[in-house]
């Protein structure tokens, strides 16, 4: 089954600490037999409401294919890590999976278009 998880990390982390946390959760998935389809780091964003007296957080997304038992292990890892403010994991239906594939293709095409423009200048 295909899943998508979005989690928010505390804003007091450095870039290296934030990347290390994302790699840790990706490793939890791969160690339990999941295959990672896509990862995106959305960066520091303003929260809709304060969480633990913080108004911003680092957003990250991981799309993966795994058995349902892996979700429990991933969410236990989220609960044990004090850097995680919030998370949401859900199973993609076939329409969400198609939309995610189109979004990935569109994101992959954008940097190429930008590099073509800069080469012409």
pLDDT digits (tens, 9 = 90+) for 78-112: 999 999 999 999 998 888 888 888 888 888 887 65
Domains of the chain, start order:
2-120 (3.30.70.60)
Closest CA to 2 of 107, 78, 101: 101
Helices assigned H by DSSP within the chain: 15-31, 69-80, 94-120
Claim: this prediction has a pTM higher than 0.75: yes
Looking at the DSSP bridge assignments, the partners of residue 91 are 3
pLDDT digits (tens, 9 = 90+) for 4-43: 999 999 999 988 999 999 999 999 999 999 999 889 899 9
Q: How far is CA 112 from CA 58, 101, 102, 116, in A?
A: 26, 17, 16, 6
Share of the chain above pLDDT 90, in %: 63
pLDDT digits (tens, 9 = 90+) for 65-74: 999 899 999 9
> What mean pLDDT comes out for the span 52-56?
93
CA 26 to chain CA mean position, Å: 9
DSSP letter for each residue of 2-18 = EEEEEEEE-TTS-HHHH
């Amino acid at each position: 089954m295909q899943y998508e998880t979005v989690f928010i990390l505390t804003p007091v982390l450095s870039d290296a600490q934030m990347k290390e946390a994302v790699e840790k959760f990706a490793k939890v998935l791969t160690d339990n037999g999941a295959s990672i389809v896509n990862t995106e780091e959305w960066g520091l964003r303003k929260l809709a409401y304060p969480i633990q007296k913080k108004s911003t957080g680092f957003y990250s997304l991981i799309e993966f294919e795994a058995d349902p038992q892996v979700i429990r292990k991933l969410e236990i890892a989220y609960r044990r890590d004090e850097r995680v403010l919030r998370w949401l994991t859900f199973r993609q239906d076939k329409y969400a999976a198609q939309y995610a594939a189109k979004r990935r293709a569109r994101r992959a095409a954008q940097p190429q278009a930008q590099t073509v423009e800069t080469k012409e200048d």
